[in-house]
Amino acid sequence: MFKPLGDRVVIELLETEEKTASGIVLPDTAKEKPQEGKVVAVGNGRVLDSGERVPVEVKVGDRIIFSKYSGTEVKYEGKEYLILRESDILAVVE
Amino acid sequence: MFKPLGDRVVIELLETEEKTASGIVLPDTAKEKPQEGKVVAVGNGRVLDSGERVPVEVKVGDRIIFSKYSGTEVKYEGKEYLILRESDILAVVE
Amino acid sequence: MFKPLGDRVVIELLETEEKTASGIVLPDTAKEKPQEGKVVAVGNGRVLDSGERVPVEVKVGDRIIFSKYSGTEVKYEGKEYLILRESDILAVVE
Amino acid sequence: MFKPLGDRVVIELLETEEKTASGIVLPDTAKEKPQEGKVVAVGNGRVLDSGERVPVEVKVGDRIIFSKYSGTEVKYEGKEYLILRESDILAVVE
Amino acid sequence: MFKPLGDRVVIELLETEEKTASGIVLPDTAKEKPQEGKVVAVGNGRVLDSGERVPVEVKVGDRIIFSKYSGTEVKYEGKEYLILRESDILAVVE
Amino acid sequence: MFKPLGDRVVIELLETEEKTASGIVLPDTAKEKPQEGKVVAVGNGRVLDSGERVPVEVKVGDRIIFSKYSGTEVKYEGKEYLILRESDILAVVE
Amino acid sequence: MFKPLGDRVVIELLETEEKTASGIVLPDTAKEKPQEGKVVAVGNGRVLDSGERVPVEVKVGDRIIFSKYSGTEVKYEGKEYLILRESDILAVVE
C-alpha cells in the first residue's frame, strides 16, 4: 500500500446511493456535495510552528464524510483511492 | 450520528419564519442573511500553533445564528443537517 | 437576547442624522462611511496562537463608530441589531 | 472626543499647501500621495500572538505623514478627522 | 549531483505506464493527475517560526506519488530530474 | 527632518547615470529596475510576534539599492525623499 | 561590492549552454526554466517570529540552480549580477 504524508489520509470511495449503508442520503441540490469514504491509511499529521506534530483525528477503518471535489484520485492494484488532507474531512460517521 | 472534525459543528436547520419561536425575525433585504439552527454535534475544536486545542464555544442543544450560504448540507436518516465551522457561527440565542 | 461568539459584538444601530446626539456628523462623500451604534452584547474575545483569549476592547453601553457595510443584520423582537467583529469597530465615542 | 481601537489613531487633517508650515512639499505626480496630519487620539495598540500589546509609535500632538486614501473620515462637532491604522503612518515630522 | 534547499527533494521520474512496477494505475480522467518518482536527494527541511528545522518525511530511495504539474524539471548528465517541495508529495509507496 | 515608523527608512534619491559614483550601472531592459539611494533616517524596526523589535539592517549614510516603484515620495525643504520599507531594500553598496 | 539584505544572495549568472561545466542541461520545454549561477555575496538571513535569525543555506562560491524570472538584475563595474531571495534557490550543485 502507500503511506500518505503529513496530515493526508487515503480513503476508499464508498458509493453514495440514494440510501447508503450508514443511512446517509446526500441531497442532489447541495452546492458543495459531501461524499462518504473509508479510511485505509493515515499520515503522521501536520507539524505546528511550535514543532509539535498533531495526530490526524481519524483512524484506519473510520467512515468519513468529505467535501466532493477535494483530494487526488489514485488507482492501486485495480482499486480506486482518494488522497485527502485532514481539513477536507467534515465528520466521522459513528 | 456523526462526529464533526476540528472546530466544526453539526446543526439541525430551524425554519426561519416571519417570527420564529425565539423571536428572531430576519430582514429580507440583508445582503448576508443569517439563519437559525440547533447544535446536535460538536467537534473537539481547532489546534493552535502552540499545540493547545481550543474547545468550541457552543454546546449540543444551543440555538445559534449563522451566516447563510456557509457550511455543507448532509442528509442522515431522512433529516437534513448542516456542518459548519465555528467561525461561521455569529451568536448563541439565550 | 443573544451572545455573540469570539471577538464579535452586537450593537443597536443609531440613526446618524445630520447632527447626532453625540455631535458626530458624517460626511456624505466618504467612500467608506462610518456609522454609530450602541453595544448591547460582547463576545468572549478572540483566542491568540498562544492560547490566550483577548477581551474585546468595548463594553455593553459603549457608543461606537464602525465601518459601514461591515457586519450582519439581525432582527430580534422587532428591533434591528448588527453583529460586528471587533476589527470593524473604529472608535468609542467618549 | 473619541478613543480609537487597537492600533488606530485619530488625526486632524492639515492642509498640504504648496509649502506647508513644516516645510514639506508634496509632489503632484506621486502615485501614492502622502499627506500631513496632527495626532489627536491614540489607541492602546495591537495585540501580538504572544499576548503582548504593542504601544502605538506616535503620541497626541505629533505631526505625521500618512498615505493618501488610507483611513476613514469622521466629522465631530464640525471638525473633520481621519481614523488611521498605525501601519498607514509613514513618518513623524520632527 | 545536487543538494536541494529547505524542504525540497530531487526525484527521478518514473514512467507511469498502464500498470507500473509497484502496481499503481493512474486514472486518465483525474483532474489533478498524480505521478510516481524515486527520491534521489533530500533537503535539510524547512525551518519553523520556533527556529526548529523539520526533517523531510521521505528519504533517498523512496518511491513517491506527487501532484502532476508541481516542481521544476532539471536535466543533469543526460538524465531528467524534478525538484519538488515536500508539500507536493502525496504519499510514499510501500 | 522626519522619523520613519517601524521598519521604514527615508532615503535621498541618487541619480543613476550610465555609470554612477559607486560604479553600478543599471541595465535598461531589467523588468524590475533597481535604483540607488542614500539613507538619511531609519525607523525603530518592526515588532515580531514574540514582542521583540528587529533593528533595521541599514544605517544613516548607507548607499542602498532598492526596487524601483517601491516606497512613497515626499518633498521636504525643496529636496526629494523616498520612504521605503526595509523589505524593499535589496542590498547595501560597500 | 554590495551586501544583500535579509535572506537575499547575489549571484553571477552562468551561461547555461547545451552542456554546462557541471554537466547540467536544461530542457527547452520546461515551463519554469531553472538556471545556474555562482554565489558572490550572502545576506545575514531572515528573522523568524521567535527573533532567531536563520543563516542562508548557501555560501559564497556555491554553484546554484534557481528559478528563471526570479530576482533583480544589477550591473556593477561592467559585470551582471542577480539578487535573489533564498527561497528562489532550488538546489546547490555538488
Q: How far apart are CA G59 and CA G90, in angstroms?
A: 14
Q: How far apart are CA E20 and CA F40, in angstroms?
A: 64
Distance of CA G3 to the CA centre of its chain: 14
Q: How far apart are CA D17 and CA E76, in angstroms?
A: 63
Beta bridge partners of B11: B39, B82
Chain E nearest C-alpha distance from G25 (Å): 5
* Predicted pLDDT at C93: 94
Q: Which of residues D44 and F31 earns the better pLDDT score? A: D44
Joined together, the cell numbers standing for residue B48 give: 493552535
DSSP G15: -
* Predicted pLDDT at F78: 82
* Predicted pLDDT at F31: 43
Q: How far apart are CA G24 and CA G90, in angstroms?
A: 14
Phi, psi angles (nearest 5°) of residue A88: -85, -10
* Predicted pLDDT at C36: 92
* Predicted pLDDT at A43: 98
Q: How far apart are CA E61 and CA E73, in angstroms?
A: 19
- In this predicted structure, the answer to whether residue D55 has a pLDDT above a threshold of 80 is yes
Cα torsion for F58, F61, F63, F65, to the nearest 10°?
A: 40
Joined together, the cell numbers standing for residue B47 give: 489546534
Q: B5 at the A interface (CB within 8 A)?
A: yes
Rounded to a whole number of angstroms, the distance between the first and last alpha carbons of chain D is: 26
Q: Is B27 in contact with C83 (Cβ distance < 8 A)?
A: no
Phi, psi angles (nearest 5°) of residue G87: -65, -15
Read off the pLDDT of residues B9-66 as tens digits, 9 standing for 90 and up.
999 988 654 444 566 655 554 444 568 999 999 999 999 999 999 999 999 999 999 9
Q: How far apart are CA D11 and CA D2, in angstroms?
A: 11
User: pLDDT (tens digit, 0 to 9) for every residue of chain C, 94 residues total?
Assistant: 899 999 999 999 886 544 445 666 555 444 445 689 999 999 999 999 999 999 999 999 999 999 888 999 988 888 889 999 999 999 999 8
* Residues contacting A31, CB < 8 A, separation 6+: none
Average pLDDT, chain F: 85
| Band of residue A33 on the pLDDT scale cut at 50, 70, 90 | low
* Predicted pLDDT at G33: 57
Q: Which of residues C18 and E16 earns the better pLDDT score? A: E16
Q: How far apart are CA D40 and CA D82, in angstroms?
A: 10
Scanning the structure block, which residue is given the C-alpha cell 490566550?
A: C52
Q: Is A91 in contact with B4 (Cβ distance < 8 A)?
A: yes
* Residues contacting E49, CB < 8 A, separation 6+: A49, B49, F49, G48, G49, G50
Q: Which of residues E8 and A31 earns the better pLDDT score? A: E8
- Among D90, D93, D94, the strongest candidate for a mutation testing the F interface, having the largest count of F CBs within 10 A, is D90
Nearest CA to C38 out of C68, C19, C58 is that of C58
Which whole number is the average pLDDT over E66-79? 87
Joined together, the cell numbers standing for residue D15 give: 492642509
* Predicted pLDDT at B92: 97
Can you list the positions of beta strands (E) in B1-94? Answer: 2-4, 8-13, 24-25, 34-42, 46-47, 53-54, 63-67, 72-76, 79-85, 89-93
Average pLDDT, chain E: 85
Q: Lowest-pLDDT range, C25-29, D72-76, E35-39?
A: C25-29
Element (H, E) at F46: strand F46-47
Of E32, E54, E91, the CB nearest to A3: E91
Read off the pLDDT of residues F4-57 as tens digits, 9 standing for 90 and up.
999 999 999 886 544 445 666 555 444 445 689 999 999 999 999 999 999 999
Q: Is G9 helix (H, G, I), strand (E, B) or coil?
A: strand
> CA angle, G34 as apex, G32 and G36 as ends, to 5°?
165
Q: Which residues of D touch C30 (CB under 8 A)?
A: 72-73
Is the distance from CB of G84 to CB of G43 less than 8 angstroms?
no
* Predicted pLDDT at B68: 80
Is the distance from CB of B11 to CB of B49 less than 8 angstroms?
no
Joined together, the cell numbers standing for residue F31 give: 523588468
**Percent over 70 (pLDDT), chain B:** 79
Q: What is the CA radius of gyration of chain G?
A: 14
Can you list the positions of beta strands (E) in chain D? Answer: 2-4, 8-14, 24-25, 34-42, 46-47, 53-54, 63-67, 72-76, 79-85, 89-93
Q: Is F91 in contact with G10 (Cβ distance < 8 A)?
A: yes
Distances (CA, A) of D7 to C87, D92, G49: 10, 16, 20
The interface residues of chain A toward chain E in range 14-73, judged by CB-CB distance below 8 A, are 41, 44, 47-51, 72-73
Q: How far apart are CA E8 and CA B88, in angstroms?
A: 36
User: pLDDT (tens digit, 0 to 9) for every residue of chain G, 94 residues total?
Assistant: 899 999 999 999 886 544 445 666 555 544 445 689 999 999 999 999 999 999 999 999 999 999 888 999 988 888 889 999 999 999 999 8
Q: What is the CA radius of gyration of chain E?
A: 14
Burial F26-52 (b: 16+ CB within 10 A, else e): beeeeeebbbbbebbbbbbbbbbbbeb
Chain C nearest C-alpha distance from D60 (Å): 16
Which whole number is the average pLDDT over E65-89? 90
Q: How far apart are CA B59 and CA C5, in angstroms?
A: 12
* Residues contacting D90, CB < 8 A, separation 6+: D34, D64, D65, D66, D67, F4, F5, F8, F72, F74, F83
Read off the pLDDT of residues F58-94 as tens digits, 9 standing for 90 and up.
999 999 999 888 999 988 888 889 999 999 999 999 8
Q: Which of residues D35 and C59 earns the better pLDDT score? A: C59
Phi, psi angles (nearest 5°) of residue G51: 100, -10
The interface residues of chain B toward chain C in range 64-93, judged by CB-CB distance below 8 A, are 65, 67, 86-87, 89-93
Query: Could you tell me if residue G18 is left (phi over 0), alpha (psi between -120 and 50 degrees) or otherwise beta?
Result: alpha
Read out DSSP for G17-68? -SS-TT-EE--TT-SS-EEEEEEEEE---EEPTTS-EE--S--TT-EEEEET
Single-letter amino acid, residue F10: V
Q: How far apart are CA B37 and CA B24, in angstroms?
A: 12
pTM: 0.83
- In this predicted structure, the answer to whether residue E58 has a pLDDT above a threshold of 80 is yes
Q: Is A32 in contact with B72 (Cβ distance < 8 A)?
A: yes
Element (H, E) at D20: none
Q: Which residues of E touch A41 (CB under 8 A)?
A: 91
Pairing of strands B72-76, B46-47: unpaired
* Predicted pLDDT at D34: 67
Q: Which residues of E touch G88 (CB under 8 A)?
A: none
- In this predicted structure, the answer to whether residue D46 has a pLDDT above a threshold of 70 is yes
Joined together, the cell numbers standing for residue F21 give: 559614483
Of F44, F50, F83, the CB nearest to D90: F83
Which whole number is the average pLDDT over D82-94? 95
- In this predicted structure, the answer to whether residue D51 has a pLDDT above a threshold of 80 is yes
Q: How far apart are CA D43 and CA A67, in angstroms?
A: 43
| Band of residue D18 on the pLDDT scale cut at 50, 70, 90 | very low
Q: Which residues of E touch G26 (CB under 8 A)?
A: 74-75
